[in-house]
Amino acid sequence: MTQIYLDNAATTSVRKEVVDEMVKVLTNDFGNPSSTYAIGRHSKALIESARKTIANQFNVSSSEIIFTSCGTEGNNWIIRSAVKDLGVKRIISTKMEHHCTLYAIQQFAAEYGVEVVYLNILPNSEIDYNQLEELLKDEVPTLVSLMHVNNEIGTILDLKRVGELCKQYGALFHSDTVQSVGKVEIPLDELNIDFIVASAHKFHGPKGAGFVYIRKNNVLKPLIVGGEQEKGMRAGTEAPHQVVGMAKALELSYQDLNKDRETITSLRDYCKAQLEENFPGVKFNGSENPFYNVLNILLPFSPEKTAMILFQLDMKGISISRGSACQSGSQKPSHVLAEFLSAEDLTKPALRISFGSDNTKEEIDYLIDVLKAV
């Protein structure tokens, strides 16, 4: 059966070159990176070389990159340590963050007695930058935690603007960049950001590998203790094959960025045009100009038709999410859409189509044909 994968914001396929690198390491380099003899030292060298490759993509120093298992771990770690160890008394965030940030903020703020302020979301799904500035004028030690690209609707945060505000008012700035790393340039040397978080499976790397950037001067305490790995910041024997695979995936993503961005943008635009032509009344949720790889849509179908739509698409070999992948199976409306859609629109099922460079126009045509037959 035809298989069409249009859920690249949930995860991505692993590139062949990445698999090859990982297999090479798994086959040849089993040494424990903490061992002091040659095969251990070789594994350690692989990890340090991967760290350098990753740091270079952001113009930062390798000492500022720490490996983790995933984006969820990175966001949890930074938020917990910021409130526990960096004297943060208030967190400014939104209710549109990924659940791993949203729930981490709720839990650690309650645990450590920290105030949380959620920014208003404007009808175009963007934050209210003026409100952020007004809040930052209060002299409270603050962590601003705002995602770069929203995983459900693709709304983009102006990292430069928020970074400058944070610098002006002395706040720490954490951005969940899981959806943007490898898909857009993030020159950290030009942006005032203290922490970013990434996950390899979102940029054609392996699952179970991620990293955080912690700007020099911010001394976090570890979330996981019990070993000296990652300078004591993240205990546990490292996984050289994962780290090497992640670095390769990131390097290739940035190497091919211009070409891939162009391909994906034109596919997304084609899909949008086809939806508009074939389904008059279709709505696109979120910003006028979302990130180039995603469309979040409301189809003008009756509730009976929409109830089974994902199932019907699946039966035809099409993988698409309802809202965010993390909520699939849930009947609750998306917490992201709930922030800015009308009560009526919220009752309608939204679909998230997210594109990758392997997708084709023919696949979009097939999707449109299947939707027409629903």
Q: Which residues are catalytic?
A: 326
CB of 72 to ligand PLP, least distance (A): 3
Among 72, 142, 296, 334, the residue binding ligand PLP under the rule CB under 6 A is 72
Angle separating helix axes 38-57 and 240-255, nearest 10 degrees: 30
**Stretch of 70-78, 220-228, 244-252, 269-277 contacting ligand PLP, by CB under 6 A:** 70-78
Q: Site for ligand PLP (CB under 6 A): which residue of 4, 82, 100, 252?
A: 100
Encoded tokens for 95: 């209710």
> Which contiguous run of DSSP H or E holds residue 130?
helix 129-136
Does 151 help bind ligand PLP (rule: CB under 6 A)? yes
**Residue 293 in contact with ligand PLP, rule: CB under 6 A:** no
User: Any contact of residue 80 with ligand PLP (CB under 6 A)?
Assistant: no
Is the Cβ of residue 57 or residue 175 nearer to ligand PLP in the bound state? Answer: 175
Using N-to-C axis directions, what is the helix angle for 129-136 and 159-169, rounded to 10°?
Answer: 20
143 beta partners: 91, 172
CB of 199 to ligand PLP, least distance (A): 3
Choose the stretch contacting ligand PLP; rule: CB under 6 A; options: 22-30, 41-49, 172-180, 272-280. Answer: 172-180
Q: Count interface residues toward ligand PLP (CB under 6 A).
A: 13
Give the helix ranges, DSSP H, for 192-321. Answer: 240-255, 257-278, 303-307, 309-315
The residue assigned the tokens 């959806």 is: 179
Please name which of 250, 225, 234 lies closest in space to residue 68, comparing C-alpha atoms: 234
The structure tokens 């199932």 sit at 311
Binding mask 180-199 for ligand PLP (x = CB under 6 A): -------------------x
CA dist 67 and 230 (Å) reads: 7
Q: Which of residues 312-371 bind ligand PLP (CB under 6 A)?
A: 326
Write out the two tokens for 345: 């629109």
Residues that bind ligand PLP (CB under 6 A): 70-72, 98, 100, 147, 151, 176, 178-179, 199, 210, 326
